[in-house]
Chains A and B, each alone.
Chain A
Amino acid sequence: MNRNDDVGSSDTDDHGQSEVASQDKVSRPEHNITRRKSAAIDDEAAVRSREELVAAREDAVGLREQAAEMRDNAATVSQDTADLHENTIQTREQAVTTREQKIRVPDEIQTVLNERMKLLQQTNANLVIATIEAHKMAEQVKMAKDQLAHLAHHDALTGLPNRILLQDRLSLAIELARRKGWQLALMFMDLDRFKNINDSLGHIVGDHLLQSVALRLSGCMRQSDTISRQGGDEFVMLLPFIKNAEEATLCAQKMLAALEPPHRIDGHDLHISVSIGISIFPKDGQDAETLMKNADTAMYHAKDNGRNHYKFFEPDMNALAVQRHSIEASLRRALEHREFVLHYQPKINLQSGAIVGLEALIRWQHPERGMLLPAEFVSIAEDCGLILPIGRRVLHEACLQAQAWLQAGLPLTSVAVNASALEFRSRDFIESIRAILEDTGLEPRYLELELTESVLMQDAEFTHSMLHELSDLGIKLAIDDFGTGYSSLSYLRQFPIDTLKIDRSFVDRMISSPDDATIVRAVISMGKNLNLRVIAEGVETQEQYAFLLAQDCDEGQGYYFGRPMAAEALAPLLQTGVSLSLPV
């Protein structure tokens, strides 16, 4: 471009030089001046022209530069446009992507929501289940607490209030009665001969019987009364508001009547009675302890009066109660100190007068009171459970003595020992007899056991099995006091009995009472027909002996033939073999 500018400039200079040559030829001086002036003007014009040319050239250059810039700008714009286009494409792609993402989002949200919902459901389910389980556990804990509270104040076997609750209610009742001027009654009850049933038929039957008794006694009380089980076979009833003692009498009679029908327990028809002692506030005691003690004392008196009775407390009973407690303590001591001795009474063949056997009878050689008969201590021994060790001591002693007599060459047929219901029903009765026989060396055929009707008829199945076991051992069996209890003739036939002992009460009256005489004849006849030996007990007179002999009674026993006597005294009699009293 510069080169072209230079070319253009050269053309302009050539044209100026030709104009100057032409003016010289027209007029020299003036012409010269003119020409000079003109030349100057021309020069000036040429300068200006040149300047203009330069300026034009500069402008051209500027224009070119501008054009170049514009071209650059255009290129830049093109580049920008391309960039913009690219951005637009990217933006569109992003928009597409976003749209696609937007389309996918609801599905994902739904999936997430579903998963969350499931988790929430499961969590809630677990919380609900856990809470309900916690409720159940709390309920169980509460029930257990309630049961514990109930057990603390109630008897577990019968559900009746226990002695703690009774004590509480009695104390409250006394306070109220004292404030209001009322009377109250406390009734102490003890089942008669419950131990026999418990020991013979087992604790389960005994427990069921206690439950049955508790139910019946509960039926005799008023809403405001409390009946509690003190333990064992003892119950106490509190009548907190009574107008007079007659109300307590009615209640006691009601309870005795309620227990009359037999209790059907595990296939057994069990008869049980109750002895009731009654104390009245404020007459018989000002506090719970005294009232309870006095009712207990009165209860023992009811027992001593034949059981199945009620007795109101009387002040002089205390002396007897003290005596009873003293006997209990003495019995234990007597057992330890071997104060029990045996006396023997002969059994006589009425035809020949020969001694055919002996009955061993217990006596208590009391250190202060002298020789005591069984009636004075056996019932107490039964009540306090000492009858078992005492009975075993008697059996052992009798067997030992019999064996001594036999070894001494004395003519002994048998020695009879009484067995109480408690002993007969005790679990190890047979075992203890076996052990005693083994220990003393006495052959079983020399031993006879005397059992009362009531013992034998109480549970026929058990009795049948026991009697056969004893009979199989070789031991003889006799029914004692026959005619005073209830005998089933059918059982009599089935049981392996050897001997019937006619009760002394019939023998005692048979001379004066035709009815008793008839009974004695009937028993002798029945015994003979059943091939049983028949012995009359309590023969004390010649008339009685003659009557029995006339009725063809086999044997007799009683003061007429000989009183019970110590072993040493009996030995000479055994030696002779006949009764000293018998008029032969």
Chain B
Amino acid sequence: METNAFHRHKLINSLMAQEAEKVVENAINLWDQLAIQVIAIVGEGGFNALYLRSVFLTQATFPWLAADSPMPQTDHRFTASKLNLEEQKPDQAREANCLLLITFTDILASLIGEELTSSILRSAWCNNASDSAGSELNND
């Protein structure tokens, strides 16, 4: 039986597969939307702690990932991450960001549970998700 985490991971992969030519833009867009929802619940400090922890864990696979704290300004929160991803080949950037998002949401789910996490992701990404991708969250 497929787990909630499996659906979540599948969703992230499918969202990152969209707009293949704009990998970095797509990645930052997903982070921006996710940040708004998560910050509303755990604040800037909580989000930054989760993000930095995720980067640290993802660096085991992608050591080039920069461990800069997201900036508090909404418009430029992920400027450093964007520059960092842009330095990589698109495939590398996509794979790294997929793993980073998966790690982030895994930690979030371990803290607040799958149900709440799915709810947050729905709020963050429902407009981005294609029908098939969006249905992943509804499987929860």
Contact = CB atoms under 8 A, between A and B. Distances in A.
B107 interface: yes
Closest 3 CB pairs of A and B: A125-B46, A128-B46, A125-B43
Interface string A126-141: 1111011001100000
A121 interface: yes
A135 B43 CA distance: 19
Contacts of B107: 132, 135
Nearest to B50: A128
B41 interface: yes
Contacts of B49: 125, 128-129, 132
Contacts of B46: 121, 124-129
Given A128-B111, A131-B111, A132-B107, A121 B53 contact: no
B42 interface: yes
Q: By DSSP majority rule, is chain A's interface helix, strand, loop, or mixed? A: helix
Contacts of B32: none
A121 B43 contact: yes
A121 B107 CA distance: 18
Contacts of A126: 45-46
Contacts of A128: 42, 45-46, 49-50, 111
Nearest to A128: B46
Contacts of B41: 120-121, 124
B40 interface: yes
A226 B76 CA distance: 55
A412 to B, nearest CB: 72
A122 B43 contact: yes
B44 interface: yes
Q: By DSSP majority rule, is chain B's interface helix, strand, loop, or mixed? A: helix
A127 B43 CA distance: 11
A124 B50 contact: no
Contact of A121 (B40, B50, B111): B40
Interface string B62-103: 000000000000000000000000000000000000000000
Interface in A102-152: 120-122, 124-129, 131-132, 135-136
A122 B111 CA distance: 16
A124 B43 contact: yes
13 contacts: A121-B43, A124-B42, A124-B43, A125-B42, A125-B44, A125-B45, A125-B46, A126-B45, A127-B111, A128-B45, A132-B50, A132-B53, A135-B53
A132 B43 CA distance: 15
A121 B46 CA distance: 8
Contacts of A129: 45-46, 49
Nearest to B42: A124
Nearest to B52: A132
Contacts of A121: 39-43, 46
Contacts of A127: 42, 46, 111
Interface in A249-272: none
Nearest to A130: B49
Contacts of B50: 128, 132
Given A124-B42, A125-B43, A125-B44, 12 more contacts: A121-B39, A121-B41, A121-B46, A124-B41, A125-B42, A125-B46, A125-B47, A128-B42, A128-B46, A132-B50, A135-B53, A136-B53
Interface in B27-62: 39-47, 49-50, 53
